[in-house]
Structure 1
Amino acid sequence: MNFARRSTLILGIATAVALGTAGCSGGLLGGGGSDDTGSTSGGESGPIKLGMVIPISGSSAPTGEYMKNGATMAVDEINKDGGVNGRQLELLVEDEACDAQQSVAAANKVVSNGAVVSVGGYCSGATLPEIPIFQKAGIPMIIPAANSQDLVNQNAKNVFLINGTGKQQSSAALKFMKKQGYKTVAIVDDNTSYSKDINTETKKQIEEDGSIDVVLSTSVTAGESDYSAVVRDIMQAKPDLVYWTGYYQEGGLIINQLTKAGFQGDIMVADGSVDASLVKIAGGADGVYATMTQTPDTIKGAEDWIANYKDKFGSAPGPYSTQSYDAVRLAAEAIKKAGSTDGDAIIKALEGIDGFQMFSGPLKFTPEHTLSSGGFVILQVKDGKFVLADDLAS
């Protein structure tokens, strides 16, 4: 089944589930009930509940843990400072395991438990079917990590992305490829929404630019352990650069198998592979590049925040911890400006945000509810760690 048909089917199922559950008496607890349009209203007492649907199990669980911790830090800081509009925040975390079917159940659970804003979203393929569920419930979605263009293309008024989009990531990838002088590139995805989106968009931009040849554009099946077939195809194509646009589990295996096959070109991965797990799975990945919005240790002035994170959780923060921290802060700011937990009022407040300071810089959303600048940089693995290699400023 092609992706467009699969996305339509997933969204159809999710919509049906949302319609079937939103009318139940327990469908919108804590947010007050719903009016005829499905938006939450009333219930302006007790804790303000934020839903966070992220991978807690499965291969992406380490990133989910970073995200939960970042969000928890923000909740604790805001509550210590008096909360929002005189009320405390409460974080409702549910596991989607980067699985579309499980994400539908998880999203419905946070809705039924009274969430008024969603601050989750890592795997785009799992986040996509959540949109009609939260939309029907009148719940704004501030998405800290998932960034497939398919999320933007839903044109859902309740969806706001605070990570750069796949299109912006592809532009950053092309800019770096040209700076490095690559003449040929192979692009490999894992057939998920996020990954295929970047492959398709990068290939399109490269072909429009005309200075680089795409000698291979292909997909693999996520969850396998043997990628010898695609390794063989890459070796035959002999590209200057391999751009892997999937997640780190498969990315680490492909890098490992390419290295063993004697591949001499460069390798670059997209943001879904930026994690210490990639290096471990690859058996070492020094020299590998990555397109990525900045991680905590590449952000100037984040030293105190990192120290606080380490004190609280006993380990260093990882990818998307800062974005999740900012997602909660942004939700709190919008609720404060709205003066209520009504979904439409919060959406209007989010659309009016201008200059709210986040780790990525001052925030102002585009009409499509995306960042005006993607903020992508190039990282590189050195001594087993991702470090800043090129800020793409010039």
Structure 2
Amino acid sequence: MKFGKRGSILLCIATAVLLTTSACSGGLLGGGGNGGDSTGDSGPIKLGMVIPISGSSAPTGAYMKNGAQLAVDEINKAGGVLGRQLELDVEDEACDAQQSVAGANKAVSNGVVISVGGYCSGATLPEIPIFQKANIPMIIPAANSQDLVNQGAKNVFMINGTGKQQSTAALAFIKKQKFATVALVDDNTSYSKDINTETKSQIEADGAVKVVLSTSVTAGESDYSSVVRDIMGAKPALVYWTGYYQEGGLIINQLKNAGFAGQIMVADGSVDPSLAQIAGAGADGVYATMTQTPDTLKGAEDWIASYKKAFNSDPGPYSTQSYDAVRLAAEAIKQAKSTDGAAIITALEAIDGFQMFSGPLKFTAEHTLSSGGFVILVIKDGKFSLEDDLS
């Protein structure tokens, strides 16, 4: 999908959050007059959001929390859902599996009816059986490992492109740029390893590009000289880093200092302003596979202004997806006329044409997006900007 079409979609979204009955979204913001809640409860409807609010990924968690809260505030101002107000219950996952389990259990205890969180795939995976047992649907706005899809959990719906779709986008760009050789490097987490493995598989099946190195590093270290030596020895035209921005920034910096003359590309977990700060001067020219960010969306100016007015800061990665996760949750509750988990799941499966930043939504049989919506970004003057729209 090209950005011109996205512009009209953004206008449609803006209309949906202002009107109680929207021809664009099918009436997202209907109040009490649009059907009673079958539970008979008149208190707030709680949405759970387990995201990193501590640890190195906390800045991304803040973007997600703010994006979700902006949607909650707009929906509540327009009358809520089924005559009730929404309430966001944010719990910490810290990109840690043990912490995420505690956060998910706390959200369940607090009475949430839908989960709208999930950033680190390795932390989101163990939440699935917890929410599944509690009959709570999960709308995942960021985490996108294929492992999440492979669980086959009926309660899981992903509104970010999957790892497989990201690998497909990466290969398309690699071939378009005529990179003959590639080195793939991951951090051994579920998300990162998934993209490495899938990209390697797709490259080898295609046959046009040669993988000269596929390796893993340990997250949290400061010295990556060993993998830098391996990369320099393999002499790839392109290095594709599929981990997070903390380690990615260090590897880029150390590669450049070692005299690496090839190109570097990172996956979506590294799309954060901090990557360029950590990488230093060598960051300019680094590519990234990514779904939409606010500043790369044509027509998002009004939404960005609303975000900045509400939080006195610029929106960042996954703020728009988190905003849409809340809107989708509200629409599903409205269509289900209930906060019962099974009824909401049925409503989510029946969604057809609901307008999000990524385009009209209709889930596949696997509860994923039919199109990943990945674009290629490039760092210029320390900031990510649009390089190529592959959608």
Instruction: Give the distance between the partners of 1:45 and 1:53, measured in 2 at CA.
Output: 25
Does structure 1 residue 118 correspond to structure 2 residue 89?
Answer: no
What does 1:201-350 correspond to in 2, within 5 Å?
201-284=198-281, 285-350=283-348
**Which residue type is aligned with residue 186 of structure 1?**
A
**Which residue type is aligned with residue 290 of structure 2?**
M
User: Structure 2 vs 1, CA of residues 226 and 43 (structure 1 numbering), >3 Å: closer, same or farther?
Assistant: farther
Instruction: Give the distance between the partners of 1:158 and 1:233, measured in 2 at CA.
Output: 42
**Which residue type is aligned with residue 293 of structure 2?**
T
1:183–1:240 Cα contact (<8 Å) kept: yes
Instruction: Extract structure 1 runs of 4+ deviating beyond 3 A.
Output: none
**Which residue type is aligned with residue 124 of structure 1?**
S
State the match for 2:149 in structure 1.
152
Instruction: Give the distance between the partners of 1:179 and 1:153, measured in 2 at CA.
Output: 30
Name the count of aligned residue pairs: 353
Task: Kindly provide the CA deviation profile for residues 93-120 of structure 1, in whole angstroms up to 9, marking residues without a partner as x.
Answer: 0011000000000000000000000000
Does structure 1 residue 136 correspond to structure 2 residue 133?
Answer: yes
State the match for 1:364 in structure 2.
362
What does 1:65-214 correspond to in 2, within 5 Å?
65-214=62-211
**Which residue type is aligned with residue 214 of structure 2?**
S
2:126 alignment partner, SS class: helix
State the match for 1:390 in structure 2.
388
Instruction: Give the distance between the partners of 1:45 and 1:158, measured in 2 at CA.
Output: 25
2:373–2:390 Cα contact (<8 Å) kept: no
2:305 alignment partner, SS class: helix
Instruction: Give the distance between the partners of 1:358 and 1:98, measured in 2 at CA.
Output: 26
Task: Kindly provide the CA deviation profile for residues 1-53 of structure 1, in whole angstroms up to 9, marking residues without a partner as x.
Answer: xxxxxxxxxxxxxxxxxxxxxxxxxxxxxxxxxxxxxxxx8362200000000
**Which residue type is aligned with residue 182 of structure 1?**
F
**Which residue type is aligned with residue 210 of structure 2?**
D
State the match for 2:377 in structure 1.
379
Instruction: Give the distance between the partners of 1:203 and 1:326, measured in 2 at CA.
Output: 32
1:92–1:115 Cα contact (<8 Å) kept: yes
TM normalised by structure 1 equals 0.89
Task: Kindly provide the CA deviation profile for residues 45-92 of structure 1, in whole angstroms up to 9, marking residues without a partner as x.
Answer: 200000000000111111000000000000000000000000000000
1:243–1:268 Cα contact (<8 Å) kept: yes
Show structure 2 runs of 5+ residues with no match. 1-37
1:322 alignment partner, SS class: helix
1:73–1:309 Cα contact (<8 Å) kept: yes
Instruction: Give the distance between the partners of 1:152 and 1:44, measured in 2 at CA.
Output: 33
1:227–1:254 Cα contact (<8 Å) kept: yes
Instruction: Give the distance between the partners of 1:92 and 1:170, measured in 2 at CA.
Output: 33
1:44–1:340 Cα contact (<8 Å) kept: no
1:290–1:378 Cα contact (<8 Å) kept: yes
Task: Tell which has more relative contact order, 1 or 2 (C-alpha 8 A, sep 6+).
Answer: 2
2:205 alignment partner, SS class: helix
2:377–2:387 Cα contact (<8 Å) kept: yes
User: Could you tell me the percent identity over the aligned residues?
Assistant: 84
What does 1:36-47 correspond to in 2, within 5 Å?
42=39, 44-47=41-44
TM normalised by structure 2 equals 0.90
Instruction: Give the distance between the partners of 2:305 and 2:254, measured in 1 at CA.
Output: 37
Computed over aligned residues only, the root mean square deviation of the Cα atoms, in angstroms, reads 0.8
